[in-house]
Chains A and B, each alone.
Chain A
Amino acid sequence: AQTVTQSQPEMSVQEAETVTLSCTYDTSENNYYLFWYKQPPSRQMILVIRQEAYKQQNATENRFSVNFQKAAKSFSLKISDSQLGDTAMYFCAFTPPNYGGSQGNLIFGKGTKLSVKP
């Protein structure tokens, strides 16, 4: 079975500091996509960052970057210069290859609740 594990149910960080959220996944496939989504209290699901498994270079989006370790099946999210608006649930998600009954299926982890403190 293909699964996504986020081992940190809750984390907190001081404003302006850096925090890393962990994510591991389990798959026997070689070609897939990984995502981090953010869900603030407003409930909206917002894409933070996306990584293609065939790319060795880690994706970055402004203050957000990932550490993608394909062999270890690890996909952590680093948030630099944390801001109060980063307070949210963060979900790691994985899309398996495009065949069978799994086309487009986003498999989510259980989420990490991040609190940024002033």
Chain B
Amino acid sequence: DTAVSQTPKYLVTQMGNDKSIKCEQNLGHDTMYWYKQDSKKFLKIMFSYNNKELIINETVPNRFSPKSPDKAHLNLHINSLELGDSAVYFCASSLGLRDTQYFGPGTRLTVL
């Protein structure tokens, strides 16, 4: 069983569209995260949720919104997609804050 899963793995869309990336973890963890990896492979935190509360919100555009229907899921919604949003997005989870984070397989988003 995959510990942290993301769907879809690849997403190609047009500028201006709205899209969502889903993330699920079956590890029983309390904290989930979203990271963005740019074309130069640099990884940066976007959001994290601990017990369904947003506890980090780095300066990402408000077009990006995380939604957590329950502790096992943290979905990423992106409105009005722009060319610069093209990247690989990783979901991760950890037992608690500062515990080891386990990553999903990533979603490669391409905005045309």
Residues on A facing B (Cβ under 8 Å):
33, 35, 37, 39, 42-47, 50, 89, 91, 95, 98, 101-108, 110-111
A-B contact pairs, 27 of them (CB 8 A): A33-B98, A35-B100, A43-B106, A44-B105, A45-B90, A45-B106, A47-B100, A47-B101, A50-B100, A95-B98, A98-B97, A101-B56, A102-B56, A103-B56, A104-B31, A104-B33, A104-B48, A104-B50, A104-B94, A104-B98, A104-B101, A106-B43, A106-B45, A106-B101, A110-B40, A110-B41, A111-B42
Q: Verify B97–A111 contact, CB threshold 8 A.
A: no
Tell me the B37-69 residues at the A interface (CB within 8 Å).
40-45, 48, 50, 55-56, 58
Are B105 and A43 within 8 A (Cβ)?
A: yes
Residues from chain A with Cβ under 8 Å of B97 in the complex: 98, 103-104
Q: How far is it, in angstroms, between the C-alpha of A98 and the C-alpha of B35 when the chains are bound?
A: 19
Given that A43-B88, A45-B103 are contacting pairs, would A103 and B98 also be in contact in the complex, using a CB cutoff of 8 Å? Answer: yes
B19 CB to nearest chain A CB (Å) = 19
The CA of A57 and the CA of B43, in the complex, are separated in Å by 28
With beta carbons under 8 angstroms apart, the residue of B44, B50, B92 that contacts A103 is B50
User: Known: A104-B50, A104-B56. Contact between A111 and B41, CB under 8 A?
Assistant: yes
Within the complex, what minimum Cβ distance (angstroms) separates A58 from chain B?
17
Which residues B7-42 have CB closer than 8 A to chain A?
Answer: 31, 33, 35, 40-42
Q: A45-B103, A98-B97, A103-B56 are in contact. Are A108 and B44 (CB under 8 A)?
A: yes
Which of A42, A89, A95, A104 has most B Cβ within 10 Å?
Answer: A104
B56 to chain A, nearest CB (A): 6
Given contacts A33-B98, A35-B100, A91-B43, contact A105 B106 (CB under 8 A): no
Query: Of residues A37, A50, A89, A106, which shows the largest number of chain B Cβ atoms within 10 Å of its Cβ?
Result: A106
Partner of B106, one of A37, A44, A50, A110: A44
Query: Given the complex of chains A and B, what is the CA–CA distance between A81 and B93 in angstroms?
Result: 31
